[in-house]
Amino acid sequence: MGASDKALGGAMLLAASVVFTYYTCWALLLPFFDASNAIHDFFPPREWAVRLPAFLLVSGLSAIGLFIGITMVKEKRAKAQKAKLRMA
């Protein structure tokens, strides 16, 4: 494992930690502060705390389903072509 792999892994871990901390503060801690508090200026409206993860989940599952579907179609075509070559 090279130094670049460790640096990339560390950067990815840092990014994930920052996103997790930001989202946790936004979704779980923000309701306990007054609406007039200045901390609300650092975050989008709260309904996006549900909409954004739901959109990401639907998009991710759709991409996975699309990938599996395309792979199945390609495999079926390859098997059909092999069978056609065997018959010839």
Per the listing, tokens 């007054």 go with 34
In this predicted model, what pLDDT tens digit does every residue of 25-70 receive, in sequence order?
Answer: 999 999 999 989 999 999 999 899 999 999 999 999 999 999 999 9
Ordered by start, the domain boundaries in the chain are 1-43, 45-87
How many residues does the structure list for the chain? 88
3-state secondary structure of 46: coil
The pLDDT score that the predictor gives to residue 59 is 98
Q: How many Cβ atoms from other residues are within 10 Å of residue 27's Cβ?
A: 16
CB 43 within 8 A of CB 30: yes
Stretch 11-34: mean pLDDT, rounded? 94
| Predicted model pTM | 0.68
Query: For residue 8, is pLDDT > 80?
Result: yes
What pLDDT shows up at residue 56?
A: 96
